Structure 1
Amino acid sequence: MITLENVSKTYGAETTIGPVSFEIPAGGVTALVGPNGAGKSTVLTMMGRLQEVDSGTITVNGRDITGTSSRELAKTLAILRQENHFITRLTVRQLVGFGRYPYSRGRITVEDEKYISEAIDFLNLTAYENRYLDQLSGGQRQRAYVAMVLAQDTDYVLLDEPLNNLDMQHSVQMMKQLRRTADVLGRTVVIVMHDINFAAAYADQIVAMNDGRVSTVGTPAEIMRPDVLQGIFHTPFEVVDGPAGPLAVYY
Protein backbone atom coordinates (compact mmCIF):
# COMPACT_ATOMS: atom_id res chain seq x y z
CA MET A 1 0.00 0.00 0.00
CA ILE A 2 1.12 3.56 -0.76
CA THR A 3 -0.11 6.10 1.80
CA LEU A 4 0.05 9.87 1.50
CA GLU A 5 -0.63 11.89 4.64
CA ASN A 6 -0.93 15.68 4.42
CA VAL A 7 1.56 15.87 1.56
CA SER A 8 2.18 19.31 0.09
CA LYS A 9 4.47 21.02 -2.41
CA THR A 10 4.76 24.72 -3.17
CA TYR A 11 6.10 26.36 -6.33
CA GLY A 12 6.81 30.05 -5.95
CA ALA A 13 4.16 32.19 -4.31
CA GLU A 14 1.06 31.04 -6.16
CA THR A 15 1.12 27.32 -6.95
CA THR A 16 0.52 24.88 -4.12
CA ILE A 17 -0.14 21.16 -4.29
CA GLY A 18 -1.95 19.77 -1.29
CA PRO A 19 -2.18 18.99 1.43
CA VAL A 20 -3.33 15.67 -0.04
CA SER A 21 -4.09 12.46 1.81
CA PHE A 22 -5.17 9.17 0.25
CA GLU A 23 -4.21 5.50 -0.01
CA ILE A 24 -3.40 3.32 -2.99
CA PRO A 25 -4.18 -0.29 -2.10
CA ALA A 26 -1.83 -3.07 -3.08
CA GLY A 27 -2.88 -4.72 -6.33
CA GLY A 28 -4.99 -3.52 -9.22
CA VAL A 29 -4.94 -0.27 -11.15
CA THR A 30 -5.35 3.20 -9.64
CA ALA A 31 -5.85 6.16 -11.98
CA LEU A 32 -5.02 9.74 -11.03
CA VAL A 33 -7.32 11.95 -13.11
CA GLY A 34 -8.16 15.62 -13.38
CA PRO A 35 -7.74 18.65 -15.61
CA ASN A 36 -4.39 20.13 -16.63
CA GLY A 37 -2.59 21.71 -13.72
CA ALA A 38 -4.49 19.68 -11.13
CA GLY A 39 -1.26 18.38 -9.58
CA LYS A 40 -1.47 14.75 -10.72
CA SER A 41 2.05 14.45 -12.11
CA THR A 42 3.56 16.30 -9.16
CA VAL A 43 1.91 13.90 -6.72
CA LEU A 44 3.12 10.92 -8.76
CA THR A 45 6.72 12.16 -8.89
CA MET A 46 6.66 12.81 -5.15
CA MET A 47 5.50 9.21 -4.66
CA GLY A 48 8.45 8.10 -6.78
CA ARG A 49 10.75 10.43 -4.81
CA LEU A 50 11.75 12.31 -7.93
CA GLN A 51 10.57 15.44 -6.12
CA GLU A 52 10.84 16.13 -2.43
CA VAL A 53 7.74 16.85 -0.39
CA ASP A 54 7.64 20.14 1.49
CA SER A 55 5.57 18.61 4.27
CA GLY A 56 3.71 15.41 5.06
CA THR A 57 4.75 11.79 4.66
CA ILE A 58 4.59 9.14 1.94
CA THR A 59 4.98 5.50 2.90
CA VAL A 60 5.27 2.43 0.70
CA ASN A 61 4.41 -0.83 2.45
CA GLY A 62 4.68 1.06 5.73
CA ARG A 63 8.18 2.46 5.06
CA ASP A 64 8.71 6.21 4.84
CA ILE A 65 10.28 6.83 1.43
CA THR A 66 12.48 9.64 2.76
CA GLY A 67 14.26 7.18 5.02
CA THR A 68 14.61 4.43 2.43
CA SER A 69 17.80 4.10 0.38
CA SER A 70 17.45 4.81 -3.33
CA ARG A 71 18.59 1.30 -4.22
CA GLU A 72 16.04 -0.36 -1.93
CA LEU A 73 13.24 1.94 -3.06
CA ALA A 74 14.08 1.10 -6.68
CA LYS A 75 13.48 -2.57 -5.89
CA THR A 76 9.98 -1.77 -4.59
CA LEU A 77 8.77 1.07 -6.79
CA ALA A 78 9.41 1.97 -10.43
CA ILE A 79 8.36 5.21 -12.08
CA LEU A 80 8.20 6.30 -15.71
CA ARG A 81 7.93 10.02 -16.40
CA GLN A 82 6.56 11.68 -19.52
CA GLU A 83 9.94 12.98 -20.58
CA ASN A 84 11.66 9.99 -22.18
CA HIS A 85 14.51 11.38 -24.26
CA PHE A 86 17.50 9.09 -24.67
CA ILE A 87 20.21 10.82 -26.69
CA THR A 88 22.29 7.66 -27.14
CA ARG A 89 20.98 5.36 -29.83
CA LEU A 90 19.64 2.27 -28.09
CA THR A 91 17.96 -0.95 -29.12
CA VAL A 92 14.79 -2.05 -27.39
CA ARG A 93 16.67 -4.72 -25.46
CA GLN A 94 19.35 -2.27 -24.34
CA LEU A 95 16.68 0.14 -23.12
CA VAL A 96 14.79 -2.54 -21.21
CA GLY A 97 18.09 -3.60 -19.65
CA PHE A 98 18.27 -0.26 -17.84
CA GLY A 99 15.39 -1.50 -15.70
CA ARG A 100 17.75 -4.01 -14.10
CA TYR A 101 20.22 -1.39 -12.89
CA PRO A 102 19.11 -1.49 -9.21
CA TYR A 103 20.16 -5.15 -9.21
CA SER A 104 22.95 -5.37 -11.78
CA ARG A 105 24.62 -1.97 -11.25
CA GLY A 106 25.42 -2.14 -14.95
CA ARG A 107 26.72 -5.74 -14.99
CA ILE A 108 23.91 -7.72 -16.60
CA THR A 109 23.69 -11.30 -15.32
CA VAL A 110 21.90 -14.36 -16.65
CA GLU A 111 19.07 -13.69 -14.20
CA ASP A 112 18.82 -10.09 -15.42
CA GLU A 113 18.58 -11.34 -19.00
CA LYS A 114 15.63 -13.51 -17.94
CA TYR A 115 13.72 -10.54 -16.54
CA ILE A 116 14.56 -8.47 -19.63
CA SER A 117 13.26 -11.18 -21.96
CA GLU A 118 10.11 -11.67 -19.90
CA ALA A 119 9.29 -7.95 -19.99
CA ILE A 120 9.91 -7.76 -23.74
CA ASP A 121 7.73 -10.82 -24.37
CA PHE A 122 4.97 -9.54 -22.07
CA LEU A 123 4.71 -6.27 -24.01
CA ASN A 124 4.74 -8.14 -27.35
CA LEU A 125 8.06 -6.61 -28.39
CA THR A 126 10.04 -9.76 -29.15
CA ALA A 127 10.08 -9.06 -32.89
CA TYR A 128 11.50 -5.58 -32.25
CA GLU A 129 14.02 -6.20 -29.46
CA ASN A 130 17.04 -5.60 -31.71
CA ARG A 131 15.61 -2.52 -33.40
CA TYR A 132 16.68 0.97 -32.42
CA LEU A 133 14.14 3.16 -30.67
CA ASP A 134 14.12 5.67 -33.54
CA GLN A 135 13.05 2.85 -35.86
CA LEU A 136 9.84 2.21 -33.90
CA SER A 137 6.40 3.73 -34.07
CA GLY A 138 5.25 5.90 -31.18
CA GLY A 139 3.16 3.08 -29.74
CA GLN A 140 5.99 0.54 -29.98
CA ARG A 141 8.44 2.96 -28.39
CA GLN A 142 6.04 3.66 -25.53
CA ARG A 143 5.66 -0.09 -24.92
CA ALA A 144 9.46 -0.37 -24.81
CA TYR A 145 9.65 2.21 -22.02
CA VAL A 146 6.94 0.39 -20.07
CA ALA A 147 8.86 -2.88 -20.57
CA MET A 148 11.91 -1.19 -19.05
CA VAL A 149 9.86 -0.37 -15.96
CA LEU A 150 8.43 -3.90 -15.75
CA ALA A 151 11.92 -5.40 -15.98
CA GLN A 152 12.72 -3.56 -12.75
CA ASP A 153 10.48 -6.21 -11.11
CA THR A 154 8.88 -3.93 -8.52
CA ASP A 155 5.62 -4.32 -6.64
CA TYR A 156 4.54 -0.80 -7.65
CA VAL A 157 4.61 0.66 -11.16
CA LEU A 158 4.01 4.41 -11.49
CA LEU A 159 3.34 5.80 -14.96
CA ASP A 160 2.96 9.46 -15.85
CA GLU A 161 0.55 9.75 -18.80
CA PRO A 162 1.57 6.59 -20.67
CA LEU A 163 -1.12 7.35 -23.28
CA ASN A 164 0.50 10.64 -24.23
CA ASN A 165 0.91 10.99 -28.01
CA LEU A 166 -0.83 7.66 -28.68
CA ASP A 167 -3.80 7.37 -31.01
CA MET A 168 -7.01 5.67 -29.90
CA GLN A 169 -6.01 2.19 -31.07
CA HIS A 170 -2.62 2.27 -29.37
CA SER A 171 -4.14 3.80 -26.23
CA VAL A 172 -6.54 0.87 -25.95
CA GLN A 173 -3.71 -1.60 -26.49
CA MET A 174 -1.59 0.12 -23.84
CA MET A 175 -4.41 0.09 -21.27
CA LYS A 176 -5.07 -3.59 -21.92
CA GLN A 177 -1.38 -4.33 -21.32
CA LEU A 178 -1.36 -2.34 -18.09
CA ARG A 179 -4.51 -4.10 -16.92
CA ARG A 180 -2.74 -7.41 -17.63
CA THR A 181 0.27 -6.16 -15.68
CA ALA A 182 -1.93 -5.90 -12.60
CA ASP A 183 -3.98 -9.05 -13.19
CA VAL A 184 -1.30 -11.44 -14.49
CA LEU A 185 1.90 -10.15 -12.89
CA GLY A 186 0.28 -9.00 -9.65
CA ARG A 187 1.75 -5.50 -9.82
CA THR A 188 0.13 -2.39 -8.39
CA VAL A 189 -0.19 0.05 -11.30
CA VAL A 190 -0.68 3.78 -10.73
CA ILE A 191 -1.42 5.84 -13.83
CA VAL A 192 -1.72 9.58 -14.38
CA MET A 193 -4.22 10.16 -17.19
CA HIS A 194 -6.67 12.70 -18.56
CA ASP A 195 -9.31 10.49 -20.15
CA ILE A 196 -11.94 9.67 -17.55
CA ASN A 197 -13.47 7.00 -19.81
CA PHE A 198 -10.20 5.06 -20.00
CA ALA A 199 -9.88 5.37 -16.24
CA ALA A 200 -13.42 4.07 -15.72
CA ALA A 201 -12.91 1.15 -18.11
CA TYR A 202 -9.59 -0.12 -16.77
CA ALA A 203 -9.01 1.15 -13.22
CA ASP A 204 -10.16 -0.30 -9.92
CA GLN A 205 -9.82 3.01 -8.09
CA ILE A 206 -9.90 6.60 -9.31
CA VAL A 207 -8.26 9.46 -7.43
CA ALA A 208 -9.64 12.71 -8.86
CA MET A 209 -7.66 15.93 -8.37
CA ASN A 210 -8.41 19.57 -9.01
CA ASP A 211 -6.57 22.78 -8.12
CA GLY A 212 -3.85 20.88 -6.28
CA ARG A 213 -6.24 19.01 -4.02
CA VAL A 214 -7.90 15.61 -4.01
CA SER A 215 -11.47 16.14 -5.13
CA THR A 216 -12.76 12.62 -4.55
CA VAL A 217 -11.58 9.02 -4.36
CA GLY A 218 -13.72 6.07 -5.36
CA THR A 219 -14.52 3.22 -7.68
CA PRO A 220 -15.43 3.95 -11.30
CA ALA A 221 -19.11 3.44 -10.41
CA GLU A 222 -18.82 6.06 -7.67
CA ILE A 223 -16.98 8.56 -9.87
CA MET A 224 -18.97 8.15 -13.10
CA ARG A 225 -21.87 10.35 -12.05
CA PRO A 226 -22.68 13.70 -13.67
CA ASP A 227 -22.51 15.68 -10.42
CA VAL A 228 -19.17 14.15 -9.40
CA LEU A 229 -17.62 14.63 -12.85
CA GLN A 230 -18.77 18.23 -13.05
CA GLY A 231 -17.15 18.89 -9.67
CA ILE A 232 -13.85 17.49 -10.94
CA PHE A 233 -13.68 19.00 -14.43
CA HIS A 234 -15.92 22.07 -14.01
CA THR A 235 -17.91 21.30 -17.12
CA PRO A 236 -21.36 19.69 -17.60
CA PHE A 237 -21.34 15.93 -18.14
CA GLU A 238 -23.81 13.29 -19.16
CA VAL A 239 -23.17 9.64 -18.32
CA VAL A 240 -24.50 7.09 -20.79
CA ASP A 241 -24.38 3.32 -21.00
CA GLY A 242 -21.55 2.07 -23.18
CA PRO A 243 -20.63 -1.43 -24.36
CA ALA A 244 -17.98 -1.77 -21.61
CA GLY A 245 -19.72 0.27 -18.92
CA PRO A 246 -20.66 3.90 -18.29
CA LEU A 247 -19.29 6.57 -20.61
CA ALA A 248 -18.91 10.24 -19.75
CA VAL A 249 -19.93 12.71 -22.44
CA TYR A 250 -19.13 16.37 -21.85
CA TYR A 251 -20.72 19.33 -23.60
Structure 2
Amino acid sequence: MIKIDNARKMYTDEVKIGPLNIEIPKAGFTSLIGPNGAGKSTTLLMIGRLLNMDEGQIMISSMDVSSSKSNDLAKIVTILRQENHFVTRLTVRQLAGFGRFPYSKGRLTREDEEIISKYIDFLDLTDLEDRYLDELSGGQRQRAYVAMVLCQETEYILLDEPLNNLDVARSVQMMEYLRHVANDFGRTILTVMHDINFAAKYSDRICAMKDGQIAAFGTVEEIMDPKLLTDIFETKIEIIEGPYGPIAVY
Protein backbone atom coordinates (compact mmCIF):
# COMPACT_ATOMS: atom_id res chain seq x y z
CA MET A 1 0.00 0.00 0.00
CA ILE A 2 1.08 3.58 -0.69
CA LYS A 3 -0.02 5.87 2.14
CA ILE A 4 0.28 9.65 1.83
CA ASP A 5 -0.28 11.56 5.06
CA ASN A 6 -0.56 15.37 4.91
CA ALA A 7 2.11 15.67 2.21
CA ARG A 8 2.75 19.21 0.95
CA LYS A 9 4.98 20.84 -1.62
CA MET A 10 5.22 24.64 -1.54
CA TYR A 11 6.51 26.40 -4.64
CA THR A 12 5.14 29.86 -3.86
CA ASP A 13 2.30 31.21 -1.72
CA GLU A 14 0.05 30.84 -4.77
CA VAL A 15 1.46 27.58 -6.15
CA LYS A 16 1.34 24.66 -3.75
CA ILE A 17 0.42 21.00 -3.65
CA GLY A 18 -1.48 19.48 -0.75
CA PRO A 19 -2.11 18.63 1.91
CA LEU A 20 -2.52 15.23 0.26
CA ASN A 21 -4.08 12.33 2.13
CA ILE A 22 -4.71 9.05 0.35
CA GLU A 23 -4.17 5.29 0.63
CA ILE A 24 -3.55 3.49 -2.66
CA PRO A 25 -4.11 -0.27 -2.26
CA LYS A 26 -1.51 -2.84 -3.13
CA ALA A 27 -1.69 -4.48 -6.58
CA GLY A 28 -3.65 -3.31 -9.59
CA PHE A 29 -3.55 -0.21 -11.76
CA THR A 30 -4.25 3.31 -10.47
CA SER A 31 -4.26 6.41 -12.68
CA LEU A 32 -3.79 10.03 -11.67
CA ILE A 33 -5.87 12.36 -13.83
CA GLY A 34 -6.63 16.08 -13.80
CA PRO A 35 -5.99 19.28 -15.74
CA ASN A 36 -2.52 20.70 -16.34
CA GLY A 37 -1.06 22.10 -13.15
CA ALA A 38 -3.25 19.94 -10.91
CA GLY A 39 -0.22 18.42 -9.16
CA LYS A 40 -0.21 14.93 -10.70
CA SER A 41 3.46 14.73 -11.64
CA THR A 42 4.55 16.48 -8.45
CA THR A 43 2.66 13.89 -6.42
CA LEU A 44 4.22 11.03 -8.36
CA LEU A 45 7.73 12.47 -8.00
CA MET A 46 7.28 12.91 -4.24
CA ILE A 47 6.17 9.28 -3.93
CA GLY A 48 9.23 8.22 -5.90
CA ARG A 49 11.53 10.50 -3.84
CA LEU A 50 12.67 12.42 -6.89
CA LEU A 51 11.17 15.54 -5.31
CA ASN A 52 11.34 16.37 -1.62
CA MET A 53 8.10 17.27 0.13
CA ASP A 54 8.03 20.18 2.55
CA GLU A 55 5.71 18.54 5.06
CA GLY A 56 4.04 15.20 5.72
CA GLN A 57 4.92 11.57 5.27
CA ILE A 58 4.76 9.03 2.45
CA MET A 59 4.93 5.31 3.21
CA ILE A 60 5.38 2.61 0.59
CA SER A 61 4.67 -0.75 2.15
CA SER A 62 6.51 -0.40 5.47
CA MET A 63 9.15 2.06 4.22
CA ASP A 64 9.21 5.79 4.90
CA VAL A 65 10.12 7.38 1.56
CA SER A 66 11.99 10.26 3.19
CA SER A 67 14.20 8.28 5.55
CA SER A 68 14.74 4.88 3.89
CA LYS A 69 18.09 4.05 2.34
CA SER A 70 18.11 4.56 -1.41
CA ASN A 71 19.21 1.03 -2.21
CA ASP A 72 16.48 -0.46 0.01
CA LEU A 73 13.82 1.79 -1.52
CA ALA A 74 15.01 0.91 -5.04
CA LYS A 75 14.09 -2.71 -4.37
CA ILE A 76 10.42 -1.95 -3.76
CA VAL A 77 9.65 1.06 -5.99
CA THR A 78 10.84 2.29 -9.35
CA ILE A 79 9.85 5.41 -11.28
CA LEU A 80 10.01 6.39 -14.93
CA ARG A 81 9.98 10.12 -15.53
CA GLN A 82 8.40 11.81 -18.51
CA GLU A 83 11.74 13.19 -19.73
CA ASN A 84 14.09 10.40 -20.77
CA HIS A 85 17.56 11.71 -21.55
CA PHE A 86 18.96 8.63 -23.19
CA VAL A 87 22.51 7.88 -24.26
CA THR A 88 22.38 7.00 -27.95
CA ARG A 89 25.22 4.45 -27.76
CA LEU A 90 23.29 2.22 -25.39
CA THR A 91 21.58 -0.86 -26.77
CA VAL A 92 18.13 -1.95 -25.65
CA ARG A 93 19.64 -4.77 -23.61
CA GLN A 94 22.20 -2.48 -21.97
CA LEU A 95 19.46 -0.04 -20.99
CA ALA A 96 17.30 -2.82 -19.56
CA GLY A 97 20.32 -4.02 -17.59
CA PHE A 98 20.40 -0.75 -15.65
CA GLY A 99 17.25 -1.95 -13.92
CA ARG A 100 19.31 -4.63 -12.20
CA PHE A 101 21.75 -2.14 -10.64
CA PRO A 102 20.21 -2.18 -7.10
CA TYR A 103 21.03 -5.90 -7.01
CA SER A 104 24.09 -6.34 -9.23
CA LYS A 105 25.93 -3.03 -8.68
CA GLY A 106 26.97 -3.25 -12.32
CA ARG A 107 28.16 -6.88 -12.23
CA LEU A 108 25.39 -8.80 -13.96
CA THR A 109 24.95 -12.42 -12.91
CA ARG A 110 23.32 -15.23 -14.87
CA GLU A 111 20.14 -14.62 -12.87
CA ASP A 112 20.24 -10.92 -13.84
CA GLU A 113 20.65 -11.85 -17.51
CA GLU A 114 17.67 -14.22 -17.29
CA ILE A 115 15.51 -11.47 -15.76
CA ILE A 116 16.58 -9.02 -18.47
CA SER A 117 15.72 -11.55 -21.18
CA LYS A 118 12.32 -12.24 -19.57
CA TYR A 119 11.18 -8.64 -19.79
CA ILE A 120 12.73 -7.99 -23.19
CA ASP A 121 10.73 -10.96 -24.46
CA PHE A 122 7.61 -9.82 -22.61
CA LEU A 123 7.73 -6.42 -24.32
CA ASP A 124 8.43 -7.92 -27.77
CA LEU A 125 11.90 -6.36 -27.91
CA THR A 126 13.88 -9.57 -28.58
CA ASP A 127 14.61 -8.67 -32.20
CA LEU A 128 15.68 -5.18 -31.12
CA GLU A 129 17.78 -5.95 -28.05
CA ASP A 130 21.10 -5.26 -29.80
CA ARG A 131 19.89 -2.09 -31.50
CA TYR A 132 21.01 1.32 -30.22
CA LEU A 133 18.38 3.59 -28.75
CA ASP A 134 18.78 6.26 -31.42
CA GLU A 135 17.93 3.62 -34.04
CA LEU A 136 14.50 3.01 -32.55
CA SER A 137 11.13 4.64 -33.07
CA GLY A 138 9.58 6.61 -30.21
CA GLY A 139 7.30 3.70 -29.33
CA GLN A 140 10.11 1.16 -29.38
CA ARG A 141 12.29 3.39 -27.21
CA GLN A 142 9.46 3.86 -24.71
CA ARG A 143 9.08 0.08 -24.48
CA ALA A 144 12.83 -0.20 -23.84
CA TYR A 145 12.53 2.19 -20.90
CA VAL A 146 9.60 0.24 -19.52
CA ALA A 147 11.71 -2.92 -19.84
CA MET A 148 14.38 -1.23 -17.71
CA VAL A 149 11.76 -0.38 -15.08
CA LEU A 150 10.38 -3.93 -15.06
CA CYS A 151 13.88 -5.41 -14.74
CA GLN A 152 14.17 -3.67 -11.38
CA GLU A 153 11.46 -6.13 -10.27
CA THR A 154 9.88 -3.81 -7.74
CA GLU A 155 6.41 -4.32 -6.35
CA TYR A 156 5.52 -0.66 -7.03
CA ILE A 157 5.94 0.96 -10.45
CA LEU A 158 5.46 4.72 -10.95
CA LEU A 159 5.09 6.08 -14.49
CA ASP A 160 4.84 9.74 -15.43
CA GLU A 161 2.79 9.99 -18.63
CA PRO A 162 3.97 6.73 -20.25
CA LEU A 163 1.96 7.56 -23.39
CA ASN A 164 3.82 10.81 -24.01
CA ASN A 165 4.71 11.20 -27.73
CA LEU A 166 3.01 7.93 -28.69
CA ASP A 167 0.35 7.73 -31.38
CA VAL A 168 -2.99 6.08 -30.69
CA ALA A 169 -1.95 2.59 -31.84
CA ARG A 170 1.27 2.66 -29.78
CA SER A 171 -0.62 4.05 -26.79
CA VAL A 172 -3.06 1.14 -26.89
CA GLN A 173 -0.15 -1.28 -27.17
CA MET A 174 1.66 0.30 -24.21
CA MET A 175 -1.45 0.22 -22.03
CA GLU A 176 -2.04 -3.44 -22.90
CA TYR A 177 1.52 -4.23 -21.80
CA LEU A 178 1.10 -2.33 -18.53
CA ARG A 179 -2.24 -3.96 -17.81
CA HIS A 180 -0.60 -7.35 -18.29
CA VAL A 181 2.20 -6.34 -15.90
CA ALA A 182 -0.38 -5.62 -13.20
CA ASN A 183 -2.27 -8.84 -13.92
CA ASP A 184 0.50 -11.32 -14.73
CA PHE A 185 3.21 -10.12 -12.33
CA GLY A 186 0.98 -8.79 -9.54
CA ARG A 187 2.59 -5.34 -9.58
CA THR A 188 1.13 -2.10 -8.23
CA ILE A 189 1.18 0.48 -11.02
CA LEU A 190 0.57 4.18 -10.43
CA THR A 191 0.64 6.35 -13.53
CA VAL A 192 -0.06 9.94 -14.53
CA MET A 193 -2.53 10.00 -17.43
CA HIS A 194 -3.81 12.86 -19.58
CA ASP A 195 -6.38 10.82 -21.47
CA ILE A 196 -9.43 10.10 -19.30
CA ASN A 197 -10.63 7.31 -21.56
CA PHE A 198 -7.34 5.41 -21.50
CA ALA A 199 -7.41 5.73 -17.71
CA ALA A 200 -11.00 4.46 -17.59
CA LYS A 201 -10.38 1.46 -19.84
CA TYR A 202 -7.22 0.15 -18.20
CA SER A 203 -7.34 1.27 -14.55
CA ASP A 204 -8.76 -0.40 -11.47
CA ARG A 205 -8.90 2.93 -9.62
CA ILE A 206 -8.64 6.59 -10.57
CA CYS A 207 -7.40 9.50 -8.46
CA ALA A 208 -8.62 12.84 -9.81
CA MET A 209 -6.69 15.98 -8.85
CA LYS A 210 -7.46 19.67 -9.15
CA ASP A 211 -5.60 22.77 -7.89
CA GLY A 212 -3.04 20.73 -5.98
CA GLN A 213 -5.68 18.73 -4.11
CA ILE A 214 -7.17 15.26 -4.43
CA ALA A 215 -10.67 15.92 -5.69
CA ALA A 216 -11.86 12.32 -5.83
CA PHE A 217 -10.56 8.77 -5.54
CA GLY A 218 -12.44 5.61 -6.36
CA THR A 219 -13.30 2.95 -8.89
CA VAL A 220 -13.61 3.75 -12.58
CA GLU A 221 -17.40 3.72 -12.29
CA GLU A 222 -17.30 6.17 -9.37
CA ILE A 223 -14.97 8.66 -11.07
CA MET A 224 -16.52 8.50 -14.55
CA ASP A 225 -19.32 10.76 -13.44
CA PRO A 226 -20.19 13.65 -15.77
CA LYS A 227 -20.80 16.18 -12.99
CA LEU A 228 -17.58 15.26 -11.19
CA LEU A 229 -15.42 15.38 -14.32
CA THR A 230 -17.03 18.59 -15.57
CA ASP A 231 -16.15 20.23 -12.26
CA ILE A 232 -12.57 18.93 -12.26
CA PHE A 233 -11.74 19.84 -15.87
CA GLU A 234 -13.98 22.93 -15.98
CA THR A 235 -15.45 21.94 -19.31
CA LYS A 236 -18.65 20.06 -20.06
CA ILE A 237 -18.06 16.31 -20.12
CA GLU A 238 -20.70 13.70 -20.82
CA ILE A 239 -20.39 9.97 -20.22
CA ILE A 240 -21.64 7.40 -22.70
CA GLU A 241 -21.49 3.63 -22.36
CA GLY A 242 -19.02 2.14 -24.81
CA PRO A 243 -18.32 -1.49 -25.68
CA TYR A 244 -15.54 -1.66 -23.07
CA GLY A 245 -17.01 0.61 -20.39
CA PRO A 246 -17.76 4.29 -19.83
CA ILE A 247 -16.38 6.87 -22.29
CA ALA A 248 -15.94 10.58 -21.61
CA VAL A 249 -17.16 12.84 -24.42
CA TYR A 250 -16.03 16.49 -24.42
1:226 equivalenced with 2:226 (yes/no): yes
- The TM-score with structure 1 as length reference comes to 0.98
SS across alignment from 1:36: coil
Residue matched to 1:217: 217
SS across alignment from 2:66: helix
Distance 1:248 1:196 in 2: 7
Residue matched to 1:13: 13
Residue matched to 1:158: 158
SS across alignment from 2:6: strand
Distance 2:195 2:86 in 1: 27
SS across alignment from 1:186: coil
1:25 equivalenced with 2:25 (yes/no): yes
Distance 1:123 1:172 in 2: 13
Residue matched to 2:103: 103
Q: What amino acid does structure 1 have at the position aligned with 2:26?
A: A
% identical equivalent positions:
61
Distance 2:198 2:87 in 1: 32
Residue matched to 2:35: 35
Given that 2:79 and 2:149 are in contact with CA atoms closer than 8 Å, whether structure 1 keeps it comes out as: yes
Q: 1:28 Cα shift? A: 0.4
Q: How does 1:48-127 map to 2 (within 5 A)?
A: 48-127=48-127
Distance 1:192 1:104 in 2: 30
Given that 2:87 and 2:133 are in contact with CA atoms closer than 8 Å, whether structure 1 keeps it comes out as: no
1:129 equivalenced with 2:133 (yes/no): no
Q: 1:88 Cα shift? A: 4.7
Distance 1:51 1:124 in 2: 33
Residue matched to 1:144: 144
Q: Where do 5+ consecutive residues of structure 2 fail to align?
A: none
Distance 1:194 1:168 in 2: 13
Q: Where do 5+ consecutive residues of structure 1 fail to align?
A: none
Distance 1:244 1:145 in 2: 28
SS across alignment from 1:67: coil
Residue matched to 1:205: 205
Q: Say what the alpha-carbon RMSD is for the aligned residues.
A: 0.8
Distance 1:103 1:88 in 2: 25
Q: 1:177 Cα shift? A: 0.4
Residue matched to 1:181: 181
Q: 1:154 Cα shift? A: 0.3
Judge which range, 61-70 or 149-158, deviates more: 61-70
- The TM-score with structure 2 as length reference comes to 0.98
